[in-house]
Each structure stands twice: as C-alpha cells, then as structure tokens.
Structure 1
Amino acid sequence: MAQKPTVLVVDDEPDLCETVQLVLELRGYEVVSFADGEVALAGLRAGVHPCLILLDIMMPRMNGFQFREEQVNDPDLRKIPVFVLTGAGQSVLDKVGALGLEALRKPIQLEELLGVVERFCCPSRRPEA
C-alpha cells in the first residue's frame, strides 16, 4: 500500500490545526501538527517527512520567520516547500512575499487550502472538471 503524503501544520491555533487535519485526512493525507516552530523543527529533524509545511507566522517561542530561517539553513530541510497561513496584516504579507513564499489569509477557505496542498503534494491528482 502506498504511503499517504504527509502535510506538516505549524500553528498555535488548535481549532485551525484540528480543522485542517480533519479535512486533509478525509482527502487521504496524513497530517502532523506542532504548535510552534521550535517543536516543528525538532519533529522534522526526528524524521517527519512532509510534502508541504503549512506555516503560521505569529507563534510563541519561535515565530514563522525564525522557523523559515532555521529551515533554509538546514541542508536536510531546506527543500521542503512552505506555504504560509496567517491572520497578520499587509506588512507581514509583504515580508512573506519578499521571502519568496506564498500565503493564504486567515480565515482560510478550505477549497483554496486543498488546492494548495494538492499542488505541492500531488500534482497529478487534480479535481475532475
């Protein structure tokens, strides 16, 4: 049996993590969630292998920008794609864009999120027209 694609969610909002996990698992993905960047990095270094990281920016201990800096400086992690989910304002979105990352504003639309996940994790799995 083929292994399910894994999506890593790094967000300190438990309700968002739970909703994303439920929706993605119903679509055949495995979801791993962490509440801050520090713990997420430890999980990645311990062997979590996601096809995509969904990253919040405003989190305790290690924010999304700090996480991304650590990630790109780690040769084993730098190639994992990151997509930002944030409720922050335009200045944060501008900084996200300057880093070459894409973002969705919270509250997220689930169909839009599914499109993002499929684009990064299953490019051959497209919705039927």
Structure 2
Amino acid sequence: MNGRSILLVEDDDAIRESVAECLDAEGYAVATVENGVAGLEWLRRSGRPDLVVLDLVMPVMNGAQFLEAVRGDPSLRDLPVVLMTAALPSAQLPVPVADGYLTKPFELDQLLETVARHARRR
C-alpha cells in the first residue's frame, strides 16, 4: 500500500472497474462513483483524496461541471484532478483545465505514470 487515495469518477462500469483494479493493484486506496454529483457527495462525506481521476462525458453531472464545482470550493480548489476522455473538444463540451489528461483508450503504463505524478504533488 502506498498510502495514497484516489477518487475515480467514471460512468462506464467496465472502465470504472478495470481502472480501479489496476490502481488497487498498485497500492492505491480507490473509491469509485458513477457521476459528478456522486463525486461531490463523496468529497463532502469522505474528505479529500490525494487525486481525482475524472471522466469528462457523464450523465447527471459531467466532468467539466464537477471540476468547476471543485475549483469553486476554497477547501478543494487545489485538489489534483486528472481528466480522462475519448471526447474531442466541442462548442458544447469544452475540455476544462485539469492537472493532467488521459486520452481514452490509454495504456496501463500511461495511467499509472500519470496517477503517480499527480498524486504525489500534494
């Protein structure tokens, strides 16, 4: 166990489960939720993880809306967030500024390197 915690916000069950399993195998404590609303509720209830890995395109509350809420909260604004998406920027859903990015599909080594880099900044 490396002592670092990750909140994974991803609506696709298969991606959420596989990413969580990979991070868990590397010693991260991983909590998972299926959308931005559930992610904000988790943060209010459970505290501050070392990193949020966030999907961009989700129902209920997308990644851009989640990130805007996090950056607008003084207690969370410096929380590291890595955005993962297969979506290209569009006028309807611009890609927000995050601490790191993963483009789906990504390789396991890309995931682990990106998470390690951003989870240790804190």
User: Common fold, TM-score beyond 0.5?
Assistant: yes
What is the CA deviation profile of residues 74-121 of structure 1, one whole-angstrom value per residue up to 9, with x for unaligned ones? 1111111111110102438x9326x25432111121100100111022
Partner residue of 1:109?
Answer: 107
Partner residue of 2:70?
Answer: 71
The alignment's TM-score, normalised by the length of structure 1, stands at 0.83
Percentage of matched positions with identical amino acids: 36
Computing the radius of gyration over CA atoms, which structure comes out larger, 1 or 2?
1
Unaligned runs of at least 5 residues, structure 1: 124-129
Unaligned runs of at least 5 residues, structure 2: none
Q: How many pairs were matched up?
A: 120
Amino acid in structure 2 at the alignment position of 1:95: P
What is the CA deviation profile of residues 16-71 of structure 1, one whole-angstrom value per residue up to 9, with x for unaligned ones? 11111111111110111110000100100112321111111110110111101111
Distance between the aligned counterparts of 1:102 and 1:122, measured in 2? 13
1:38 aligns with 2:27: no
Partner residue of 1:120?
Answer: 118
Over 3 Å off, 4+ runs = none
Task: Determine if contact 1:57/1:86 at 8 Å carries over to the other structure.
Answer: yes
Amino acid in structure 2 at the alignment position of 1:67: F
Task: Determine if contact 1:96/1:103 at 8 Å carries over to the other structure.
Answer: no
Partner residue of 2:25?
Answer: 26
Distance between the aligned counterparts of 2:12 and 2:22, measured in 1? 16
CA RMSD in angstroms, aligned pairs only: 2.1
Please give the secondary structure, in 2, of the residue aligned with 1:107.
coil
